[in-house]
Structure formats: C-alpha cells, structure tokens
Amino acid sequence: MSAIIIDGKKISEEIREEIKKEVEELKAKYGIIPGLATILVGENPASVSYVKAKQKVAQNLGFYSVQENLPENISQEELIAIIKKYNNEEKIHGILVQLPLPKHIDEEEVINAILPDKDVDGFHPVNLGRLLRGNPSFIPCTPYGIMVMLEKIGCDVEGKEVVIVGRSNIVGKPLAVLLFQKRKPIGNATVTICHTKTKDLAFHTKRADILIVAIGKPKFIKADMVKEGAVVIDVGVNRIGISPSGKAILCGDVDFDEVKKKASAITPVPGGVGPMTITMLMKNTLQSAKRFVSQKKNP
Ligand SMILES: NC(=O)c1ccc[n+]([C@@H]2O[C@H](COP(=O)([O-])OP(=O)(O)OC[C@H]3O[C@@H](n4cnc5c(N)ncnc54)[C@H](OP(=O)(O)O)[C@@H]3O)[C@@H](O)[C@H]2O)c1
C-alpha cells in the first residue's frame, strides 16, 4: 500500500483564497481591515523565519500587518508594555508573540498580558479554558490546522483510536481536547496522549487509527510503530542540515519514506502541517476582525 500524501500546502491555499475574499468583503462593507501585530524578541533563526512567513502571508491576504523586532535583552516590563499598546489599538485584531522567548522573560506572564479577544494564537488561559469547556474560542493554530486537514481529507474521527505523541501546551494538549470533544465532524475520538514517561510507546502508537506526532525528534517514528492503514500526521519540524543554496533542510518526527508504505494517508514535512498553522493564524485574525465589526454594530 502507498499512502495518500496530504497536501497541506494545497489545502492551505484553498483556505487562503476564501480568507482573501472575506477580507475584501469586510473592507468594502465596513471599511475594516484585519490587523495583525507580530512581536519577535531576539534573532533565533527559526523564529525569524516563522515570523517572516507569517508577515508575508498576512500581507498577501490584504491584512494590515505590523511587526516589532525587539532586542534579545528587552525587559519583561518593556515587552508587556508593547503588548498593552496593541491591546488598545483599534486597528489591531490579533497579537502574536513568537515563542520561545529569551530565558529572562516569563512566557506565561507575557501570554497572560495579551487581551484574550486578540489572542489569535489561542494560548491565553481564558481561550484554553473555553476550549476545554467546548465553548467558542481562538483555537491554537497547529491543532486547528490538523482538524481542518482531517476534515478536508474526509477522515471520520468519531470512535477512532487517536494517539498523540507529545503533550505540549501548543500542540498535544489542545489537540487532544479538540478531538475528544462531543462535536462533529471532528470530535468524539478516543484519545491517548504519550510523552517521555510513557511505557512502551510503540504499544500505543501501533493501536492508533490516527497517529499524531509532535515531539521534535527527527524520523523517530518508524514503520514498525505504526498500524497498517493508519492516518499519520507529522507535526515535527527538525532542521537536519543546510542545502547548498543556504536553505535549512527539514524533516519531520516520522520516518516518512518508510511509514508512507504502511499508512493510508500521511503529511509530509515540509508541506504538511506547517502551512496549515500559518493559515489558521490568519483565519483566527479574520475571525477577530469580524467579531470587532459585530460588536460595533451591536454594542
Ligand atoms: N508545523 C508546525 O506548525 C509546528 C507547530 C508547533 C510545533 N512544531 C514542531 O513540533 C515539534 C514539537 O513541538 P512542541 O512545541 O509541540 O513540543 P515541545 O514543547 O518541544 O514538547 C515535546 C513533547 O514531546 C514529548 N517527547 C519528546 N521526546 C519524546 C519521546 N522520545 N517519546 C515520547 N514523547 C516524547 C515530550 O514529552 P515530556 O512532556 O515528557 O517532556 C513533550 O511532551 C517540534 O519539532 C516543533 O518544531 C511544528
């Protein structure tokens, strides 16, 4: 068997086209342009390239987009003051602080400083609490992108055994909540989360109808850890070298070439989950701008 390769880039492009149209409508009808503020602290090469990519997509979609490039040694107070400035700026509907932050800054404090209604990354405790309760909230972008991908490929999640490897606050935990939520079409799954203290990881991964891996270990999941016919979603982004043209060479957490022979569908790295993450950030920002419009109409 050879797996369907889930084309995250193509799915993303389709969604971006829809977003673009909605942006034009919003502008024509209400004079509102979705505004995204991206805050980068320091010069971590991965963070620099993620922020660049997000800014580029925002601009292509017709968003109003501002970027703060802040020095590595900025104080926590100064950073929070900048976030508060954007909290109060009408033209900004979404604030994104690129993680990780330098060690001297308390990440939690910074996330907590973002107004929940502008927290388009969905990391604020208010949004995570709403997510847990099954109420409308900003859904963290990577889990949101994975849900949309599963839906687009017609993967019926209900009653399925989903195994997530990795329990981070940004991927594993919110994704588990979304997939076991009493909701259709993507929900009602039976979810297992694995981590470094899981005994016999392969026992769990081999049970998975849908296996989602977010650990940051290159090609860690081998074919003998995967069930025949499983849907495999690889979240990992690992930099394993530099190409002659100076570009980073990336691979996922799954041994793609081997596992694709066994899976029914699989995401590649790059070109799988990554583009979806950026797209869902734009979708959240658009949603925030639309909410702003409806609040203005019905104060
Ligand atoms: N494509 C995208 O848009 C996107 C978005 C976000 C992240 N990522 C990528 O996804 C990967 C994970 O990032 P993250 O921020 O979610 O995770 P993270 O905060 O780095 O945490 C990694 C998680 O994996 C678990 N883990 C690590 N090694 C393991 C092993 N050998 N067996 C079982 N579990 C193991 C850890 O367990 P413990 O909790 O026990 O330590 C932890 O829960 C990274 O490569 C990151 O670059 C990609």
Q: What is the pLDDT of residues 10-21, one digit of tens each?
A: 999 999 999 999
Residues 265-286, mean pLDDT to the nearest whole number: 98
Coil, strand or helix: which one is 160? Answer: coil
Write the DSSP symbol of residue 97.
E
For ligand 1, the distance from its centroid to the CA atom of residue 166, given in whole angstroms, is 5
Q: If we measure between CA atoms, which residue out of 267, 254, 193 comes closest to residue 223?
A: 254
| In the predicted structure, residue 240 carries a pLDDT above the cut 70 | yes
Q: What is the pTM of this model?
A: 0.96
Residues 154-160, mean pLDDT to the nearest whole number: 96
For ligand 1, the distance from its centroid to the CA atom of residue 216, given in whole angstroms, is 5
| In the predicted structure, residue 295 carries a pLDDT above the cut 90 | no
Q: Is the CB–ligand 1 distance for residue 193 below 6 Å?
A: no
54: annotated active-site residue: yes
How many Cβ atoms sit within 10 Å of the Cβ of residue 80?
18
Q: Is the CB–ligand 1 distance for residue 163 below 6 Å?
A: no
Q: Whose CA is nearest to atom 9 of ligand 1?
A: 236
d(C-alpha 140, C-alpha 274), whole Å? 13
For ligand 1, the distance from its centroid to the CA atom of residue 299, given in whole angstroms, is 42
| The pLDDT value given to residue 92 | 98
For ligand 1, pick from 195, 222, 233 the residue to mutate: most ligand atoms within 8 Å of CB.
Answer: 195
| In the predicted structure, residue 1 carries a pLDDT above the cut 70 | no
Active-site pick, 119, 121, 234, 255: 121
Q: Is the CB–ligand 1 distance for residue 235 below 6 Å?
A: yes
Contact 170, 140 (CB under 8 A): yes
98: annotated active-site residue: yes
Residues 11-32, mean pLDDT to the nearest whole number: 97
Query: Residue 100: pLDDT band by 50, 70, 90 thresholds?
Result: very high
Coil, strand or helix: which one is 115? Answer: coil
